[in-house]
């Protein structure tokens, strides 16, 4: 019994057969002591645990590589950064510096993009809820309005009429690609004729002009051919409208949905095997565009816009969490309580995030459950992962953790943790401070009749 940490009763655990025999069960590649070259303990000393850590180098590299996959195969390509995926100001600023436009879906996100200095014409405004006030502002600032329903179209038309102008619009489309579950609640459906009707409404209005088509076929799409089919359907609809004398469509926006190297629950292959390369998506999209537009001159090829979110940011951000307690469950499984749970990393509800230790830990690995700090049964970070016996203070690094966590995280029971950025020069800085009692309580107001008394009566 060498390297024994503490007495542990002898224990045997059968392996469950619904667990992949491939990589998934191990502590993936075992040990990770640093993030983007910076020692993790140094970061935790500075900003505490749990801590999100973003790598600027990785983020820039990702967006360049993904854009290049498309831009090397099609003449005119724009990436719209999907704000909802991660709208921390520093993250958005880095991506805008790389040339990405902003893709926003609410008044809040629109205002945030403008506050970060993004000009209106470089904002793609999606989303089913755009109140009149924000539509007035966005149209005046030249933002691209992606229309979700007829009531919105009527509001935009009335704004244009009041101003005596013409407002260009993009119609959001939905249809069945045959490869993915159709997201039919957004935009106008092609098969039922709604999309065609909407286009006719636009054409009939002296205050509107249709310049673009948009669709978003879903998220974490593991089948590149779904995008080929999407492009084919969109180009077909475009040709139909043009054939009937509608104005020229100048942009096709294929939305987001490219998968990141994360492990979706229920998919037993590890991400390296389950997730196709970005190039295979670009080949499907650009090949379909080329086939669709083969007989029109290049200057009439529409701009290709894509709104990739998770593929750009997911693996550029890690979450470091610390062990605060260990236990043996009644069924014999080993369990660990961490200081970060689904309150900080909501995506643990649908991903088995790859997790690594920050240093070697002696002892035989065993199937272990990782719990968060909440007093809720669903607060599970990993339902099963093979780990050596951990002790209080040991750290775990979850990566990818950059998509939909710094936006969907909850201030529930615990404070939201800090987010640090490791720069390309290895310098590190805070991009969002850990929440304090003051932050959480700032919007609250105490009615006059409750203002006295300290709770002891």
Ligand X SMILES: Cc1ncc(COP(=O)(O)O)c(C=O)c1O
Interface residues with ligand X (CB under 6 A)?
A: 82, 85, 103, 126, 216, 219, 255-258, 307-310, 403
Q: Are strands 334-338 and 366-371 parallel, antiparallel or unpaired?
A: parallel
Residue that has been written with the tokens 């203070």 in this structure: 393
252 or 418: CB nearest ligand X:
252
The pair of three-digit structure tokens given for residue 440, joined into one six-digit string: 């959480």
Largest CA distance in the chain: 84
Which of 231, 119, 120 has its CA nearest to residue 167?
120
User: Which of ligand X, another protein, none has residue 13 at its interface (CB below 5 to 8 Å by kind)?
Assistant: another protein
Number of residues that bind another protein (CB under 8 A): 19
Element (H, E) at 39: strand 38-39
User: Which of ligand X, another protein, none has residue 360 at its interface (CB below 5 to 8 Å by kind)?
Assistant: none
Which 392-411 residues touch another protein, going by CB under 8 A?
A: none
- Given a contact cutoff of 8 angstroms between Cβ atoms, the answer to whether 292 and 235 are in contact is yes
Helices (H), 164-252: 194-204, 224-243
Q: Which residues contact 223 (CB under 8 A, 6 or more apart)?
A: 179, 180
Q: How far is the CB of 84 from ligand X (least distance, A)?
A: 6
Q: How far is the CB of 260 from ligand X (least distance, A)?
A: 8
Query: CA geometry: angle at 416 spanning 415 and 419, to 5°?
Result: 140
Q: How far is the CB of 129 from ligand X (least distance, A)?
A: 13
- How far apart are the C-alpha atoms of 44 and 230, rounded to whole Å? 45
85 or 189: CB nearest ligand X:
85
User: Which of ligand X, another protein, none has residue 141 at its interface (CB below 5 to 8 Å by kind)?
Assistant: none
User: Which of another protein, ligand X, none has residue 14 at its interface (CB below 5 to 8 Å by kind)?
Assistant: another protein
User: Which of another protein, ligand X, none has residue 139 at its interface (CB below 5 to 8 Å by kind)?
Assistant: none
**Does 389 interact with another protein (rule: CB under 8 A)?**
yes
Q: How many CB atoms lie within 10 A of CB 92?
A: 22
User: Which of another protein, ligand X, none has residue 85 at its interface (CB below 5 to 8 Å by kind)?
Assistant: ligand X
176 or 366: CB nearest ligand X:
176
Burial class (CB in 10 A: 0-12, 13-18, 19+), 1: exposed
Does the N-terminal peptide bond of residue 164 adopt cis geometry, omega within 30 degrees of 0?
no
Binding mask 367-386 for another protein (x = CB under 8 A): x------------------x
The pair of three-digit structure tokens given for residue 113, joined into one six-digit string: 């993009």
- How far apart are the C-alpha atoms of 30 and 52, rounded to whole Å? 20
85 or 251: CB nearest ligand X:
85
Cα atoms found within 13 Å of the Cα of residue 446, Cβ hemisphere only = 9
Q: How far is the CB of 185 from ligand X (least distance, A)?
A: 11
Does the N-terminal peptide bond of residue 104 adopt cis geometry, omega within 30 degrees of 0?
no
Q: How far is the CB of 317 from ligand X (least distance, A)?
A: 13
Q: How far is the CB of 4 from another protein (least distance, A)?
A: 7
57 or 363: CB nearest another protein:
363
Q: How many CB atoms lie within 10 A of CB 199?
A: 22
Q: How far is the CB of 217 from another protein (least distance, A)?
A: 40
**Does 13 interact with another protein (rule: CB under 8 A)?**
yes
Q: Which residues contact 22 (CB under 8 A, 6 or more apart)?
A: 268, 269, 270, 273
**Does 327 interact with another protein (rule: CB under 8 A)?**
no
User: Which of another protein, ligand X, none has residue 310 at its interface (CB below 5 to 8 Å by kind)?
Assistant: ligand X
Q: How far is the CB of 105 from another protein (least distance, A)?
A: 45
Which one of 115, 365, 431, 456 is in contact with another protein (CB under 8 A)? Answer: 365
Query: CA geometry: angle at 93 spanning 103 and 148, to 5°?
Result: 10
Q: Is 214 helix (H, G, I), strand (E, B) or coil?
A: strand
User: Which of another protein, ligand X, none has residue 216 at its interface (CB below 5 to 8 Å by kind)?
Assistant: ligand X
User: Which of another protein, ligand X, none has residue 124 at its interface (CB below 5 to 8 Å by kind)?
Assistant: none
Which residues of the shown chain bind another protein in the complex (CB under 8 A)?
1, 4, 7-15, 332, 363-367, 386, 389
């Amino acid at each position: 019994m060498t390297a024994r940490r503490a007495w542990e009763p002898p224990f045997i655990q059968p392996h469950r057969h619904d667990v992949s025999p491939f990589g998934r069960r191990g502590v993936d590649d075992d040990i990770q002591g640093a993030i983007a070259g910076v020692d993790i303990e140094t970061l935790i000393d500075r900003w505490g645990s749990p801590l999100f850590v973003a790598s600027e180098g990785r983020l820039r590299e990702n967006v360049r590589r993904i854009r290049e996959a498309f831009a090397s195969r099609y003449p005119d390509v724009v990436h719209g950064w999907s704000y909802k995926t991660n709208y921390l100001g520093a993250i958005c600023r880095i991506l805008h510096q790389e040339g990405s436009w902003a893709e926003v879906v609410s008044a809040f996100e629109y205002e945030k993009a403008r506050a970060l200095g993004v000009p209106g014409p470089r904002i793609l405004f999606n989303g089913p809820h755009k109140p009149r006030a924000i539509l007035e502002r966005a149209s005046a600032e030249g933002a691209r309005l992606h229309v979700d329903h007829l009531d919105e179209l009527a509001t935009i038309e009335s704004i244009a009429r009041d101003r005596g102008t013409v407002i260009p619009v993009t119609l959001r489309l939905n249809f069945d690609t045959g490869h993915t579950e159709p997201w039919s609640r957004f935009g106008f459906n092609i098969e039922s004729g709604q999309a065609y009707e909407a286009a006719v409404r636009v054409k009939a209005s002296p205050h509107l002009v249709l310049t673009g088509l948009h669709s978003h076929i879903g998220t974490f799409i593991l089948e590149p051919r779904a995008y080929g089919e999407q492009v084919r359907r969109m180009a077909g609809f475009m040709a139909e409208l043009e054939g009937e004398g509608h104005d020229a469509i100048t942009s096709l926006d294929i939305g987001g949905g490219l998968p990141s190297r994360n492990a979706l629950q229920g998919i037993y292959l590890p991400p390296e095997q389950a997730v196709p390369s970005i190039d295979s998506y670009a080949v499907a999209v650009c090949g379909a565009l080329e086939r669709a537009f083969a007989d029109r001159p290049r200057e009439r090829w529409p701009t290709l816009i894509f709104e990739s979110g998770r593929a750009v940011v997911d693996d550029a951000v890690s979450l470091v969490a610390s062990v605060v307690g260990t236990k043996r469950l009644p069924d014999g499984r080993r369990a660990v309580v961490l200081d970060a749970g689904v309150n900080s990393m909501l995506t643990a509800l649908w991903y088995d995030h790859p997790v690594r230790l920050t240093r070697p830990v002696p002892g035989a690995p065993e199937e272990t459950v990782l719990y968060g700090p909440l007093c809720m049964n669903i607060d599970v970070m990993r339902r099963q992962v093979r780990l050596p016996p951990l002790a209080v203070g040991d750290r775990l690094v979850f990566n990818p953790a950059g998509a939909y966590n710094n936006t969907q995280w909850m201030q529930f029971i615990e404070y939201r943790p800090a987010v640090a950025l490791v720069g390309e020069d290895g310098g590190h800085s805070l991009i969002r401070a850990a929440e304090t009692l003051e932050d959480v309580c700032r919007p609250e107001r105490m009615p006059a009749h409750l203002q006295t008394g300290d709770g002891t009566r």
